[in-house]
Amino acid sequence: MAALPAFLKLKVDHKTVLCRDLNAYRALRDFLLNSGYSSVYETDRVGEAKTAMATFACLSSLTGERLAVVLGMSAPEEVSHAQAPFAYGFAGKPQKDAQTYMQHLALRTTDIDKLKAYLESKGAEFLTPIYKDKDSFGPLLQSFTRELFDDEWFFIEFVQRDYDADKVGAGGTQFVQNTVKSLYVSKQEEFREWEKTGKKRKFLDGVPEKERTNLLRDILVNTMALL
Ligand SMILES: [Fe+2]
């Protein structure tokens, strides 16, 4: 296998987990706070007029692992996309007992512009542009892919942080409000489209079939041990 370019040597930046309801959200949050994680930020409601989500982000000082815990808030006439795994199931079946769902994996690159251009040149499709924002730790660039599978709700976030992300402490609590709101709106639009048509455009739909596995392997090759 040819050596991967530097921008494709990806590290796990964080994982985001959806919760079925307020009980699951509070239980997971309390469990993490009692397990060596400290809060990075917490936000009550970010989204659209009808639906939204609450987020709790935390960092383990022991392992450096970052986790975000999300509670989707649906309205009587509209399901939040962050409730989709619980409202519509996953892995091809209804999931009435599932309390959590891993919604996205964020992978850190050294050059998000090059990475996105490279993946798009192969036919991969992103849901969002590259958002340029700042959190407590420093400048933060993020771009989100379309979902990977028909019967799942999983996607990848690519991140570039222009500082040594493995060497920061718990930091402050600045929150990338604009990015999270923009992402929420884009995901909700994508989800409404799926509810209407039952179809979704996936991350690798535009990549020739025989190249998909290799491309996905190149993206995940350095992260498998951590999943
Ligand atoms: Fe994320």
Tokens at 181, concatenated: 């709101």
Predicted confidence at residue 215, as pLDDT, reads: 95
pLDDT digits (tens, 9 = 90+) for 146-177: 999 999 999 999 999 976 666 555 555 556 67
Predicted confidence at residue 157, as pLDDT, reads: 98
Cα(15) to centroid(ligand 1), Å: 7
Contact, 49 vs 60, CB < 8 A?
A: no
pLDDT digits (tens, 9 = 90+) for 104-160: 999 999 999 999 999 999 999 999 999 998 876 778 999 999 999 999 999 999 999
Cα(193) to centroid(ligand 1), Å: 22
Strand 11-19 vs strand 131-135: parallel, antiparallel, or unpaired?
unpaired
| pLDDT of 44 higher than 80 | yes
Rounded to an integer, the average pLDDT of 23-35 is 97
DSSP label at residue 78: B
Cα(30) to centroid(ligand 1), Å: 20
Percent of the chain scoring above 90 in pLDDT: 79
Cα(131) to centroid(ligand 1), Å: 12
The model's pTM:
0.92
Cα(69) to centroid(ligand 1), Å: 10
Cα(14) to centroid(ligand 1), Å: 7
Amino acid identity for residue 28 in this structure: L
Name which of 55-64, 147-156, 199-208 the model is least confident about: 55-64
Cα(74) to centroid(ligand 1), Å: 20
Predicted confidence at residue 165, as pLDDT, reads: 60
Cα(56) to centroid(ligand 1), Å: 11
71 phi/psi in degrees, rounded to 5: -115, 115
Rounded to an integer, the average pLDDT of 174-187 is 85
Cα(10) to centroid(ligand 1), Å: 15
List the chain domain ranges: 6-226
Cα(92) to centroid(ligand 1), Å: 25
Let me know if domain 6-226 sits in CATH 3.30.70.260.
Answer: no
Cα(67) to centroid(ligand 1), Å: 9
Q: What share of the chain is helix, strand, coil (3-state, %, to 5)?
A: 30, 30, 40
Rounded to an integer, the average pLDDT of 41-58 is 94
Average confidence score pLDDT of the chain = 92
Predicted confidence at residue 46, as pLDDT, reads: 94
Cα(155) to centroid(ligand 1), Å: 10
pLDDT digits (tens, 9 = 90+) for 86-102: 999 999 999 999 999 99
| pLDDT of 225 higher than 80 | no
Q: Nearest to residue 183, comparing CAs of 220, 140, 130?
A: 130
Cα(142) to centroid(ligand 1), Å: 8
Cα(153) to centroid(ligand 1), Å: 14
Cα(143) to centroid(ligand 1), Å: 9
